[in-house]
Amino acid sequence: MHHENSLLSHAAIVLVRPKYAENVGAAARVAFNMGISRLILVRDEMPDQEAMAKMATHKAAHILERMELHHSLEDALAPFSIIAATTARRGRKRILEKTPRELIETVIPDLHNNQLAIMFGPENTGLTNDEIKYCQYVSAIPTAEFSSLNLAQAVAIHCYELYYQIVHQPNAIIPNPSVASSFELEGMYEHVEDALLRIDFLEEKSHTYWMNNIRQFLGRIRLTPKDAKIIRGICRQFLWHQDNR
C-alpha cells in the first residue's frame, strides 16, 4: 500500500470558485474514499463550514480541516508541474480533450517525480480560458445526450480513475523525470512576454492569442527547471541588450 499512498499523495483536487458549500463537502468525501487527501479551494472566502461538514461526513472531516484556501489560481497552482483542467463544455477547444481515463493513463508516469493538480470550475459556468491556460491537459467526461454531471460526481470519476489505475498498474511503469513547476513556468512566461513586447512582436489585438500559443508550444516540450532558467536567462540578456543599445 505504501507505493499507492506515496503516488496518491502527489495528486490534489483544485476547486475553482465553487458556488455551493455542499459540493465542496461532497468532493472531500469522494476524494477521501479514493485515497486522495489534498483538496485546494480557490475562492474569496471559505464556504459555510456546517454545510460542507454535513456532506463530507465525519470520515472526511480531516480533509476539510487541512484544505488550503487561495484567493488566486496562480498561487494555488504554484507547486504543481502537471495540471489538468476538467470541462463539460463542448465548445471549440484549444487543447485536445481527453477522457478522464486517458488523462490519468497519460499522467501516471509523471506522478513519481511531479505534483499533479486536477482542476474543476464553478458548477454553472466551468473554467474560463484564462484559467485553462495553466494546464497541459483538458479532460471532459463523455456523457449521454446533453446531460451534465454535478461537481462532486465529476471529482469522483477523476479520483476513481486515479485510484484504480495506481492500485492496478503494473510496477513496470517507467517514471517520467520532474518538470518545471507552474511557479517556475509563470516566471519564465513573464520574461518571454516582456522580451516579445519589447520588440513589438505581441500586437495589442493578438497579444493573448500569441501568448496562449507560446504557452502550448513550450508546454508540449515538458521543460525542466533548468530549461526554464535557460529561457529566462536568454530573455534577461535580450532585455538588457535592448536597454543598453
pLDDT one-digit tens code per residue, 35-74: 999 999 999 999 999 999 999 999 999 999 999 999 999 9
What's the whole-model pTM score?
A: 0.89
Residues near 71 by beta carbon (within 8 Å), at least 6 away in sequence: 42, 43, 44
Residue 152, class by beta-carbon neighbours within 10 Å (0-12 exposed, 13-18 middle, 19+ buried)? buried
The answer to whether domain 2-168 has CATH 3.40.50.300 is no
Confidence of residue 97 (pLDDT cuts 50, 70, 90): confident
Predicted confidence band at 77 (pLDDT cuts at 50, 70, 90)? very high
pLDDT at 100 > cutoff 50: yes
What are the phi and psi torsion angles at 42 (to 5°)? -115, 105
- Residue 1: band (very low, low, confident or very high) from pLDDT cuts 50, 70, 90: very low
Residue 148 to residues 19, 74, 161, Cα–Cα distance (Å) = 17, 27, 19
The confidence score (pLDDT) of residue 48 equals 93
Nearest one of 205, 24, 200 to 122, comparing CA atoms: 24
- H-helix or E-strand spanning residue 137: strand 137-139
Cell of 26: 461532497
* Inter-residue contact 60 to 27 (CB < 8 Å): no
User: Is residue 47 a contact partner of residue 74, using CB atoms and an 8 Å limit?
Assistant: no
Q: Which residues of 85-108 are buried (b: 16+ CB within 10 A; e: fewer)?
A: bbbbeeeeeebebbebbebbeebb
Contact criterion met (CB below 8 Å) for 27 and 57: no
- The ranges assigned to domains in the chain are 2-168, 182-243
Task: State which CATH number among 1.10.8.590, 2.20.25.10, 1.10.150.110, 1.10.10.10 fits the domain covering 182-243.
Answer: 1.10.8.590
- Between 238 and 160, the more confident residue is 160
How high does pLDDT run on average in the chain? 89
CA distance 110 to 177: 7
| Residues 210 and 201: beta-carbon distance below 8 Å | yes
